């Protein structure tokens, strides 16, 4: 049945959308509270599930896909998400994120995390400015040195930017378990708010040194590649969840993988990336309910290792 679309209806719909963005938990899961963790250096709370953009938001000028990614971001916000992480390395991801934020009018809803990715140690502010322009924001909440590229020069500038109020937090990143030795040395010596690293039910090297060190030094931890770039699903999705999964708060594999990560006491949030709304809904399921305890975490790792 066709419905006449009036200006009044349009404005009412717009207001409802805006309201839903600002009241995410009410829309997503009535009566349930999102699981959050405090950023050690400030005490500010963050939802334990964030969103990555690697490979997923680099869609160039494809209007159709920009619309689809905007729907993914909308679902993320509606279900209580906040931290979104990107990088100038990810092609057009910054541009697409800026357009999606603009369409959703969600600039004040996002905890904006980005990276400095250039060998030119003098280009920190310039790259930060370029990324801000693409996102359409006045400042990033978190700015990180991507994969330790020219990290000394960039970190020096980021410290000054933080002191000047140009960013709120600073950090460094690695992935795939690379350069953990150097990463740990920087964590020991520099005043970092955040580190970002790879950790999942199979890639657990970070448990040895980096995660304990983050707790000891009071550094927030963002976890990338929580699904090993999708490999965990390809490998295990056809397998059954263990019978005790609901006791650990998991009703599907996405929740299983994510809750294993965010239940580690040193982890602040995980940043899965997806192109599909239904997958985003599954991911955001890990933001609610109970988290596995230490014994259940061991069970989870053993179960996956045994498949």
Q: Give the nearest distance from C-beta 148 to other proteins in angstroms.
A: 9
Residue with tokens 């929580």: 226
Q: Give the nearest distance from C-beta 134 to other proteins in angstroms.
A: 12
Looking at the Cβ atoms of 94 and 193, the one nearer to other proteins is 94
Looking at the Cβ atoms of 56 and 196, the one nearer to other proteins is 56
Decide the pairing of beta strands 220-224 and 51-52: unpaired
Looking at the Cβ atoms of 233 and 290, the one nearer to other proteins is 233
Q: Give the nearest distance from C-beta 31 to other proteins in angstroms.
A: 37
Looking at the Cβ atoms of 64 and 119, the one nearer to other proteins is 64
Q: Give the nearest distance from C-beta 171 to other proteins in angstroms.
A: 19
Looking at the Cβ atoms of 96 and 220, the one nearer to other proteins is 96
Looking at the Cβ atoms of 18 and 91, the one nearer to other proteins is 91
Using CA atoms, how far residue 33 sits from 51, 210, 240, 283, in Å, is 19, 29, 28, 16
Residue with tokens 């200006």: 7
The three-state DSSP-derived secondary structure of the chain is: CCCCCCHHHHHHHHHHHHHHHHCHHHHHCCCCCCCEEECCCCCCEEECECEECCCCCCCCCCHHHHHHHHHHHHHHHHCCCCEEECCCCCCCHHHHHHHHHHHHCCCCCCEEEEEECCCCCCCHHHHHHHHHHHHCCCCEEEEEEHHHCCHHHHHHHHHHHHHHCCEEEEEEECCCCCCHHHHHHHHHHCCCCEEEEECCCCCCHHHCCHHHHHHHHCCEEEEECCCHHHHHHHHHCCCCCCCCHHHHCCCCHHHHHHHHHHCCCCCCEECCCCCCHHHHHHHHHHHCCCCCCHHHHHHHHHHHHHC
Q: Please count the other Cβ atoms lying within 10 Å of the Cβ belonging to residue 1.
A: 2
Q: Give the nearest distance from C-beta 146 to other proteins in angstroms.
A: 13
Looking at the Cβ atoms of 18 and 229, the one nearer to other proteins is 229
Looking at the Cβ atoms of 22 and 185, the one nearer to other proteins is 185
Q: Give the nearest distance from C-beta 66 to other proteins in angstroms.
A: 11
Q: Give the nearest distance from C-beta 182 to other proteins in angstroms.
A: 5
CA distance 159 to 293: 37
- Contact residues: other proteins, CB under 8 A: 54-56, 58-62, 64-65, 89-93, 176-182, 205, 229, 275
Q: Give the nearest distance from C-beta 58 to other proteins in angstroms.
A: 5
């Amino acid at each position: 049945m066709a419905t006449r679309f009036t200006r009044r209806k349009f404005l009412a719909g717009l207001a409802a959308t805006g309201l839903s963005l600002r009241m995410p938990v009410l829309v997503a899961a009535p009566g349930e509270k999102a699981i959050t963790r405090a950023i050690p250096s400030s005490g500010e709370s963050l939802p334990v599930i964030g969103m990555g953009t690697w490979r997923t938001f680099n869609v160039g000028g494809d209007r159709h896909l920009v619309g689809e990614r905007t729907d993914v971001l909308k679902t993320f916000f509606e279900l209580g998400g906040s931290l979104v992480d990107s990088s100038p390395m990810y092609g057009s991801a910054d541009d697409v994120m800026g357009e999606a934020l603009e369409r959703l009018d969600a600039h004040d809803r996002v905890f904006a995390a980005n990276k400095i990715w250039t060998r030119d140690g003098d280009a920190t502010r310039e790259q930060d400015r370029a990324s801000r322009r693409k996102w359409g924001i006045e400042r990033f909440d978190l700015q990180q040195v991507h994969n330790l590229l020219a990290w000394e020069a960039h970190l020096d500038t980021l410290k000054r930017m933080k002191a000047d109020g140009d960013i709120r937090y600073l950090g460094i990143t690695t992935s795939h378990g690379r350069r953990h030795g150097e990463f740990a040395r920087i964590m020991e010596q520099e005043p970092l708010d955040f580190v970002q690293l790879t950790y999942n039910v199979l890639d657990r090297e970070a448990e040895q040194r980096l995660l304990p060190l983050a707790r000891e030094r009071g550094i927030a931890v963002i976890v990338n590649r929580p699904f090993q770039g999708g490999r965990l699903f390809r490998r295990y999705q056809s397998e059954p969840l263990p019978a005790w999964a609901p006791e650990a708060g998991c009703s599907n594999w996405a929740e299983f993988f994510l809750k294993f990560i965010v239940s580690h006491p040193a982890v602040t949030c995980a940043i899965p990336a997806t192109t599909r709304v239904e997958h985003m809904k599954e991911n955001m399921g890990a933001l609610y309910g109970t988290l596995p305890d230490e014994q259940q975490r061991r069970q989870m790792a053993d179960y996956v290792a045994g498949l």
